[in-house]
């Protein structure tokens, strides 16, 4: 029985690494595709499209780099508190850079980015995206995902909950502003999909907090591997697919009806 469970665990971890490699491949391909689009737009003399394609290339290149590092962590050691801390540190460092760039990219695709913005400006929205990620990063990395919530000091409990609530509040503000800005744009359905997927990141992160309670001395293997798969799927869609959608026009092709 023990040997069978060990083999099953090994297969699950290998399958997860395979998913991570798929994500790395998608993100790398999207970065290369966007870079070629940049060169095409530069030759065509269209600075607006060049800017958007350039952001796409940077976003996907950064994400691909971090996925390559996560794969190294996964292949070198089994799931543990230490490996999960490293993995989530890589994830949050990725998001801290790519989230504000995604905000800038979304606003660059419309003509009325400053219309009725709660956060007043695009730069403020990008800054809030960074703060949103950093709040979640502190609660995850600095307070160990609130795993030993009952054993924490009262100030740490309050700070941890406040970080998550603050992160969620900033996400809501960003989504409201983006929804208002895109309200007058044609073909909005696909654009909405690319930023309305963001709450899934928060749901996954907060869900991990509840699933990990009373397990401060170890990290649940199934939870770690599930996070790998969920985050990989979200990153592929919100970054790689978004890049293909916005860059495909450079080659006179249609991706998702662009």
SS3 assignment for 93-128: HHHHHHHHHHHHHHHHCCCCCCCCCCCCCHHHHHHH
The distance from CA 155 to its chain's CA centroid, rounded to whole angstroms, is: 29
Residue 187: the pLDDT is 59
Residue 8: the pLDDT is 41
- Please, which residues have CB within 8 angstroms of residue 225's CB and are 6 or more apart in sequence? 12, 13, 16, 79
Label residue 186 by pLDDT band (50, 70, 90): low
CA gap 193, 175 in Å, rounded: 11
Residue 1 has pLDDT above 80, yes or no: no
* Whole-structure pTM value: 0.91
Residue with tokens 């907090």: 209
Of 210, 208, 207, 199, nearest in space to 175 by CA: 199
Q: Which residue has the higher pLDDT, 168 or 249?
A: 168
Q: What is the pLDDT of residues 31-78, one digit of tens each?
A: 999 999 999 999 988 898 999 999 999 999 999 999 999 999 999 988
For 76, what's the count of Cα atoms within 13 Å in the CB-facing half-sphere? 11
Give the DSSP H or E segment for 143: none
Residue 7 has pLDDT above 50, yes or no: no
Please give the share of the chain, as a percent, with pLDDT higher than 70: 89
Q: What are the structural domains of the chain?
A: 2-251 (1.20.1070.10)
Q: What is the pLDDT of residues 75-88, one digit of tens each?
A: 998 899 999 999 99
Contact between 81 and 218 (Cβ < 8 Å): yes
Q: Which residue has the higher pLDDT, 42 or 253?
A: 42
Average pLDDT over residues 158-184: 91
Its sign, for the CA torsion 229, 13, 5, 140, is negative
Contact between 135 and 163 (Cβ < 8 Å): yes
Residue 139: the pLDDT is 94
């Amino acid at each position: 029985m023990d040997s069978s469970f060990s083999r099953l665990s090994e297969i699950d971890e290998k399958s997860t690494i395979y998913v991570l490699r798929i994500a790395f491949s998608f993100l790398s391909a999207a970065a290369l595709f966007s870079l070629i689009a940049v060169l095409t737009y530069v030759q065509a003399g269209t600075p607006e499209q060049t800017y958007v394609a350039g952001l796409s290339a940077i976003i996907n290149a950064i994400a691909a780099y971090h996925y390559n590092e996560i794969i190294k962590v996964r292949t070198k050691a089994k799931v543990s508190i230490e490996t999960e801390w490293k993995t989530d540190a890589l994830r949050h460092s990725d998001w801290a850079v790519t989230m504000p760039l995604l905000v800038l990219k979304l606003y660059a695709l419309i003509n009325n980015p400053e219309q009725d913005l709660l956060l007043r400006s695009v730069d403020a929205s990008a800054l809030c995206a960074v703060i949103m990620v950093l709040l979640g990063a502190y609660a995850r990395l600095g307070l160990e995902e609130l795993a030993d919530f009952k054993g924490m000091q009262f100030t740490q409990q309050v700070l941890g909950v406040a970080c998550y609530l603050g992160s969620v509040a900033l996400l809501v503000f960003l989504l409201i502003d983006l929804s208002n800005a895109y309200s007058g744009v044609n073909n909005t359905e696909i654009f909405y999909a690319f930023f309305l997927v963001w709450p899934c990141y928060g749901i996954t992160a907060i869900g991990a907090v509840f699933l990990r309670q009373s397990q401060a001395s170890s990290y649940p293997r199934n939870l770690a591997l599930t996070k790998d798969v969920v985050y990989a799927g979200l990153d592929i869609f919100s970054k790689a697919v978004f890049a293909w959608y916005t860059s495909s026009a450079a080659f006179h092709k249609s991706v998702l009806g662009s």
